[in-house]
Amino acid sequence: MDQSLFDTQSRQPAVLARSANLAEGYSATIAEPVRPDVPTAKFGDPDITATGERRASVSLKTLRTLWFNTGTLCNLTCKNCYIESSPRNDRLVFLSRAEASRFLAEATRLDPPPAEIGITGGEPFMNPDILGILEDSLAAGFAVLTLTNAMKPMQRLKAPLLALNRKFPGRLTLRVSLDHYESSEHERLRGRNTWQRTIDGLLWLARNGFVVAVASRTVCGETDARMRAGYAALFDRLGVSIDTADPTRLVLFPEMRAEEDVPEITERCWGILGKTPDSVMCASSRMVVKRKGADRPAVVACTLLPYDGAFELGASLAEAARPVKLNHRYCARFCVLGGASCSG
């Protein structure tokens, strides 16, 4: 998988700055706390912020994307991987085909059922059950979006992937992570000798009729337009047909600086910021994870918070349909203020 856990649309830095300032300014106007006995630390109480306001929450509007985290093991150790994947990180263990199929069965009974199944990791193609999970998801009638670095773990499965794509034409999208349109910047983040292997995988997918998308980070302070122009030139050189103006085919994610201080999100922030709760990922997504040592998978609120037990919502999709309290700095930084809207 990738950093790329938000599906589309990132905002420009100026918008982010304006939003953050609004939230800070709004907080400063609150005269009386809702409760006098509020905790002083941010993100300490699930219901009340440090300034005594009611914390924002998000209801599940409709489950549009059901994500399966196939495990945190990865063949790479990229800088700033939000889930800290590596060849050694097995905090989330491999999800089995049988475990995934139970959630697929529940998903097909929903009205409406999810529009797509998202597959993320780690690197999903390191999971020994990945082909079965893909096949079951496609056979159940879902569109499937799989995030991958397109390197050796994927490339060793070329023959079965071709067979799957023939059996379910147009329904399997592979989104390849390429962190920049220049090899040097990509390898600065992903490590030496990662560029050409990913390019080889991307070319193989494109030349063999897969639906292909690319995800990139915007780590260099480059504008959206410059990034898209850089990728357009690269794809021209490679002979790859990807519409770089389409934000679902070339997905640019905002830089993830998780350590930054952020304001907490209150109920009234929605109005101040001109946003709605429906615009953030947990209004339309859930993710199935399996923690190391757990006897069964769990459903968490979103792809961004796989480790935080406070965002574990239940053992089934039905249990996990309850509202999510935005009691994490990622909620503010990446979703409400960061502009990383996640509906695909």
Inter-axis angle of helices 97-108 and 130-139, nearest 10 = 20
Integer angstrom CA distances of residue 78 from 5, 110, 145, 149, 199: 15, 37, 21, 11, 17
3 interacts with ligand SF4 by CB under 6 A: yes
List of residues 6+ apart from 225 with CB closer than 8 A: none
Residue closer to ligand SF4 by CB (options 7, 168) is 7
335 interacts with ligand SF4 by CB under 6 A: yes
- DSSP at 93: P
302 interacts with ligand SF4 by CB under 6 A: yes
Binder among 92, 133, 205, 305 for ligand SF4 (CB under 6 A): 305
63 interacts with ligand SF4 by CB under 6 A: no
Task: Provide the token pair at 95.
Answer: 């999800």
How far apart are CB 285 and ligand SF4 at their closest, in Å? 7
Phi and psi for 188 in degrees, rounded to 5? -60, -35
If 0-12 CB within 10 Å is exposed, 13-18 middle and 19+ buried, where does residue 166 land? exposed
Q: Which helix (H) or strand (E) holds 132?
A: helix 130-139
How far apart are CB 256 and ligand SF4 at their closest, in Å? 10
- Subset of 102-121 contacting ligand SF4 (CB under 6 A): 121
- Subset of 73-92 contacting ligand SF4 (CB under 6 A): 74, 76-78, 81, 85
CA distance linking residue 32 with residue 335, whole number of Å: 27
How far apart are CB 312 and ligand SF4 at their closest, in Å? 11
122 interacts with ligand SF4 by CB under 6 A: yes
Site residues, ligand SF4 (CB under 6 A): 1-3, 58, 74, 76-78, 81, 85, 121-123, 149, 177, 280-282, 301-302, 304-305, 311, 324, 326, 328, 330-331, 334-335
